[in-house]
Amino acid sequence: MTEEHDERTTEERDSDVDDTPVYPAVPETDADGDEESVPTASSARIHRPDSEHGTIPADGVGPDGEEPESAAVAAAATAETANEDSSEIRSDGVPASERNGGRPGLRPDGGARPANVDADGTLRDVEFTEPAEGVSQDVDSGAPDERVGVPERVDLDTPGYEIRSEMNDIETPDEKTWFMELDEAVIDDGRCIQCGTCVSACPSDSIDVGDDDLPKLVKMCTGCSLCWDFCPRGGLRYERQWKITGGDDNVSGAGDPITEFSAKVDDDWTGGAQDGGVVTGILATLLEAGEIDGALIATESEEEPWKAESYLATSREDLIENAGTIYNQTLALGNLDLDQWEHKLPDEPWENLSLALVGTPCEIEGIRALQDFEWEYGAQEEGVRAVDYTIALMCTKNFNYYSLMGEHLEEQRGISPDEIGKMDVLQGKLMVYDHDDRMMLEEDIENFHDAALKGCDECADFTGYAADVTVGSVGSADEYSSVIVRTEQGLKAWELTEPILEYHDLEDRSAIGGLQSWDKKKAFESLERPFDPDAPRFIDYADHAEHYGTVLNPHDSGH
């Protein structure tokens, strides 16, 4: 082919220029799929449609209750705008519409204004879609606001806590004490007395009760130290709490109470009660006088005979039905979340509610310590503050339910829990009666020592020094209770109850003092730390670990 010479003027040639943009050709490839690269077009400038210079405007994709503007419609609208602005030509020959993408709302870099800002830059109302609750996302057809759950039959192992230090190389601050320390030094060591104070103290509600009736961590621990500080077998120096609550005389002997009596309730319902029904009588009187709205006591589990559970009694009938003693713990202080008792309490602000708490001496030590500080205790806060009366039950030890009822009584002695109508610990003997009040067993309590909670050996508080009122059988004749009134609040409860009581001076104060001394001697032999009523109330974990030999920072050691 020969080259033809065009003799037209430049103006004549320009008038015939085809405005259609020219694109570089794409070379064909072999059928075998050999790699080919697209050649660069020499001296070729690619003209992009205006719709390709920006993004689809936010008002075309935002949730306005209408279908989003399609890409084709957006492109057409952009092209139309570009044609309207095509007369504005820059010196380099590039249309202004190509510079700004053909839309006044687009930035020169191709971005778009946020959907929640108008043309003047003012923030519009923003709407959010609430996430679905309790629904796992169907990845094939599920909506994007549905949560993805763990597939069935998949067990995801949580990495050990030591991974924390491996990932960030940060050492745990010495002043922080975590649930892991409490677990290492008390729970895993078998020293937990199941009082529930750690559950009540946790401000983040991270501690609950496991199936084994022991505290367990149910969500992230914040390292606030409160579970450790208030544990009577951990950071709480319980003998210091006696002194703070009751004075110097509570450190020796049986204390220096306001007054003491041997008493019983003179009523026909006391046959099923423990030693005269004094505790039930006091609580019923406080309820009927409007002094309290309920009493946190123990009840028998419906599923497991003679297993204690926490129960809020709000009537005289409630109290009489649950009269008597059950010899295992309820983790009472772990049941002060008033939401679980909301259906039984008056519909009033919690500041107006008043409760009584019946518990073992360690439980009373815990609640009194919690109340001494204005810290917030999560879901238990309202219940902790609502307790206005405390009644301690004289106690040398308590038992693990499954060990006492299952192994010792049922397996070794052939006594089924279903057959038992009453149990008592008196004069060093465990006594078991059937439903007709006939004795089935009378045996030295020492024979059941390995069924007792190990942590009880360290307790020197037989008579409940921190309580308003202490009640027990030691020091009084059969069918009478020994009553020790320790505080002005306790005296108020006694004076209200006095009209329904048959009482006289305490029969044998020396019996109470003698058992208190024996209990303290046993505690001194078991305690690994010094017994010091004048020392600070809280024991640092490092100090405890030094005496008990537990691990410092167990979470960094793969606990």
**What is the C-alpha separation between 300 and 308, in angstroms, rounded?**
5
List beta partners, residue 260.
Answer: 484
Residue 259: its H or E element: strand 259-265
Is 441 a residue whose pLDDT tops 90?
A: yes
**What is the C-alpha separation between 56 and 61, in angstroms, rounded?**
8
Reading the block at residue 392, the tokens are 């301690």
Q: Would you state the pLDDT for residue 83? A: 47
Give CA 4 to chain center in angstroms: 92
Q: Assign 3-class secondary structure to 295-351.
A: EEEEEECCCCCCCEEEEEECCHHHHHHCCCCCCECCCHHHHCCHHHHHHHCCCCCHH
Q: Which pLDDT band holds residue 502 (cuts at 50, 70, 90)?
A: very high
User: CB neighbours of 113 closer than 8 A, spacing ≥ 6?
Assistant: 58, 105, 107, 119
Pick from 121, 397, 195, 418: nearest CA to 207: 195
Report the share of the chain in percent with pLDDT over 90: 56
Tens of pLDDT, residue by residue over 530-547, are 999 999 999 999 999 999
Tell me the three state secondary structure of residue 444. Answer: strand
**What is the C-alpha separation between 196 and 384, in angstroms, rounded?**
12
Is 306 a residue whose pLDDT tops 90?
A: yes
- Alpha-carbon torsion, ordered 510, 515, 520, 521, to 10 deg: 100
Q: Would you state the pLDDT for residue 101? A: 47
Tell me the three state secondary structure of residue 112. Answer: strand
Sign of the torsion formed by the C-alpha atoms of 62, 68, 71 and 73: negative
- Alpha-carbon torsion, ordered 11, 15, 18, 19, to 10 deg: 90
Is 58 a residue whose pLDDT tops 50?
A: no
Tell me the three state secondary structure of residue 272. Answer: helix
Q: Would you state the pLDDT for residue 75? A: 46
pTM over 0.85: no
Is 60 a residue whose pLDDT tops 50?
A: no
442 phi and psi angles, rounded to 5 deg = -140, 110
Question: Does residue 153 or residue 316 have the better pLDDT?
Answer: 316
Q: Would you state the pLDDT for residue 150? A: 61
**What is the C-alpha separation between 201 and 375, in angstroms, rounded?**
9
Average pLDDT score over the chain: 80
346-369: average pLDDT? 95
222-228: average pLDDT? 94
Most confident of 31-45, 112-126, 154-168, 240-254: 240-254
CB-neighbour burial class of residue 398 (10 A; exposed 0-12, middle 13-18, buried 19+):
buried
**What is the C-alpha separation between 335 and 344, in angstroms, rounded?**
14
Question: Does residue 433 or residue 119 have the better pLDDT?
Answer: 433
Is 102 a residue whose pLDDT tops 80?
A: no
Angle, helices 488-497 vs 278-288, to 10°: value is 90
**What is the C-alpha separation between 239 and 346, in angstroms, rounded?**
37
Lowest-pLDDT range of 136-140, 201-205, 346-350, 445-449 = 136-140
**What is the C-alpha separation between 490 and 497, in angstroms, rounded?**
11
**What is the C-alpha separation between 269 and 365, in angstroms, rounded?**
31
Q: What is the DSSP string of 459-501?
A: ---TT-TTSSEEEESTTS-TT-EEEEE-SHHHHHHHHHHGGGE
Q: Quick check: 431 and 361 in contact, CB under 8 A?
A: no
Q: What is the DSSP letter of 556?
A: G
Tens of pLDDT, residue by residue over 106-139, are 455 555 556 677 777 777 776 666 766 766 555 5
Q: Which residue has the tokens 């204005």?
A: 374
Q: Within a 10 A sphere around the Cβ of 317, how many other Cβ atoms?
A: 11
Q: Which pLDDT band holds residue 42 (cuts at 50, 70, 90)?
A: very low
Across the beta sheet with 439-444, the strand order is 420-426, 429-434, 439-444
Tell me the three state secondary structure of residue 271. Answer: helix
Is 50 a residue whose pLDDT tops 50?
A: no
Is 176 a residue whose pLDDT tops 70?
A: yes
Is 175 a residue whose pLDDT tops 60?
A: yes
448-455: average pLDDT? 92
Q: Quick check: 447 and 398 in contact, CB under 8 A?
A: no
Query: CA dist 245 to 122, 242, 506, Å?
Result: 62, 5, 23
